[in-house]
Chains A and B, each alone.
Chain A
Amino acid sequence: MKMKKTLTIIAIAIIVAAIAYYLYVSNTLQSVIGGRAAQESSEPSVSTAKEVSVIATFEVPDGSDTVRFTLRLDTRGGVTSVIASDALKNDEVSTQLAKFSENLLLVIKGKKLSELKAVDKVGTSSLTTAAFNTALPQLQAQL
């Protein structure tokens, strides 16, 4: 039961990811892999598809990794597997990509801090120093 719940969560995550790609990276998808990706990404419906996929392009120091996430579904819409493959190399599944497929691709909207209860602290990137903040207007004045 717990496993089924987990798989459902993964399915939702991937579907959300597919939607995210429409919203954020559709241009990237089409430029990288053309019409094929658009067609595949347009079929993330659990009720009608046995297999759905979405392609993610990750910018890396040497260029980009183009990874296809493929979900295989059973007849009830349950996820039977999630596979990450190299979309530019005949969907080759390397050891690294096999591990990488353990990551979940999500869209996090966030929640107002003022709405949170029983929080002890807020983890943040370090605040800038007073000297740094003092110098910024001087920089802006030069622009």
Chain B
Amino acid sequence: MEQGNEGFSFSALGTRWSIVVDSEMLRDDAQEAVLKYIQSFDRRFSRFVDTSEANAFRGSDAGEYVISEEFATLLSKADELRRLTDGVYDPAVGGLLERAGYDATYRMTPLPDTAGFILPKWDISQQTLTLDGPAVFDIGGMGKGYCIDMVAGILKDFGYVHFLVDGGGDMFGTTKAGGSPWRIAIEYPGRSDTAAGIVELENQGLAVSDSFRRRWGTWHHLVDPRSNRPIDRVIGVSAVAPNAWDADCTTSALYFASSSRYPVIAEVYSSRYVIFRNDGTTLVSSNWHGELF
């Protein structure tokens, strides 16, 4: 970890983070608090960690299980996404991703029975998780946004007002010291040297998702559990919302949902979006603010 012009930067949750506090440095005790939380989040909820809650039900029988309050919060939001996408988004695809090769050992080779994966059925009510059998949860589609907001909360607790939390390309920004917004370029899906546009964040979150990274062979990490294959109709989504978690949820929902659901999703998360489709066209919500090139 280091603190330079790019702010306090470190690696966590499989990506590069940086925290910029406008016009000042992040104190050591604040750095430690941030790292402590993110490392704890990773240990508790990453499916790549054997002892995490996401992995705790890998060998479970059908039944009801009491889970931690924070995991229940995450799964409840995932349940909301599942409803908004008519079941196409489902964090229980962890087992499918493992079979396809995206496991803790990075096998990267699909198993012969990948197409035969059967999605576990699950339900969440407060802190009670009901399962019909073994399940591996992958909260990658919304966990980082939640984590970014929690880090922002830690910074506020330490008295910081003007900051930008960048969690590997997804962000939350307050304002700069002079009150002006943070100007963020949105990367064009699959073209790391090109911007699709610019948004200005002012106490808002930004999420950017595409299918060009975390890709192996004919697979990538955004999979449809009904076909047990990657999703190809959308190649990238960017969204701005009042916080990073809702922005992250918006991108995941838009990736997986039927187009008729788009307005509802934007309404639920008070968000605005750009959807890059596989035919080269782009759908932009009518409430979009910002430059597009």
Which A residues lie at the B interface, using CB under 8 A?
A: 17, 20-21, 23-25, 28, 56, 58-62, 65, 67, 96-97, 99-100, 102-114, 116, 118-129, 131-132, 134-136, 138-139, 142-143
Contacts and interface: CB of A to CB of B under 8 A. Distances in A.
A30 B188 CA distance: 29
Given A24-B280, A121-B171, A136-B108, A102 B195 contact: no
B284 A123 contact: no
Interface of B: 14-16, 20, 86, 88, 101, 106-109, 144, 164, 166-171, 182-189, 191-199, 206-210, 212-214, 216-217, 224, 226, 233, 236, 238, 256, 258-260, 262-264, 274, 276-286, 288, 292-293
Contacts of B195: 110-113, 116, 119, 122
A125 B193 contact: no
B236 A125 contact: yes
B164 A121 contact: yes
Given A126-B170, A131-B106, A97 B164 contact: no
A61, A119, A129: which has the most chain B beta carbons within 10 Å? A61
A125 B169 contact: yes
Contacts of B236: 125
A103 B283 contact: yes
Contacts of B171: 121, 123
B194 A112 contact: yes
B169 A126 contact: yes
B292 A108 contact: yes
9 contacts: A59-B233, A100-B262, A104-B284, A108-B282, A110-B196, A118-B183, A121-B182, A121-B185, A122-B186
Given A106-B284, A128-B214, A132-B216, 20 more contacts: A24-B279, A58-B233, A59-B233, A65-B260, A96-B263, A100-B259, A104-B286, A105-B281, A106-B282, A107-B281, A108-B274, A108-B276, A111-B293, A112-B195, A118-B183, A123-B199, A125-B187, A125-B214, A126-B170, A139-B216
A25 B101 CA distance: 33
A107 B280 contact: yes
> Which 9 interchain pairs have the tightest Cβ spacing?
A124-B169, A135-B106, A99-B263, A102-B286, A59-B233, A60-B258, A111-B293, A110-B194, A139-B108
A128 to B, nearest CB: 5
A123 B187 CA distance: 6
Contacts of B20: 120-121
